[in-house]
Structure 1
Amino acid sequence: MSKAVIGLIVGMALAYAGYFGGFGAFLLVAALGAVGFAAGRFLEGDWELGDFFRRGDHGERRR
């Protein structure tokens, strides 16, 4: 599935939440979507938990 289709689906989900549930539901769906995105990146191996907790390298990856 292309990134454009995924973006379309996410946008439609946010629109439905905002229309039927109000602004609070919109924020909840957006926050849970961000959590799901982060979990997916961890599962794919693109991110590692240590990347967020290392000190002293100022965002640069160690090799």
Structure 2
Amino acid sequence: MSRAVLGMLVGMALAFAGWFGGFGAFLLVAALGAVGAVVGRLIDSGVDWREFFAPGDRRPR
């Protein structure tokens, strides 16, 4: 699935949440989507969460 199609699906999900559930539901869907994206990236890449959130380029000494 291309990133354009994925972005369209996310936008449609946010639009439905905003239309039927109001602004609070829109924010909840957006926040949970962001959390899901972070978790998915961590699972796909196999990166330790400390390395993912570490600022800059940290190398072990």
Richer in helix (by share)? 2
TM-score normalized by the length of structure 2: 0.84
Residue 60 of structure 1 is aligned with which of 49, 54, 57? 57
Q: Considering only aligned residues, what root-mean-square deviation do their CA atoms show, in Å? A: 1.8
TM-score normalized by the length of structure 1: 0.82
Which consecutive aligned stretches of 4+ in structure 1 deviate over 6 angstroms post-superposition?
A: none
Aligned twin of 1:3 = 3
Aligned twin of 2:40 = 40
Partner SS state of residue 62, structure 1: coil
| Identity of matched residues, % | 61
- Quote the Cα distance in structure 2 between the aligned partners of 1:38 and 1:50: 13
Aligned length: 59
Partner SS state of residue 60, structure 1: coil
- Extract unaligned runs of 5+ from structure 1: none
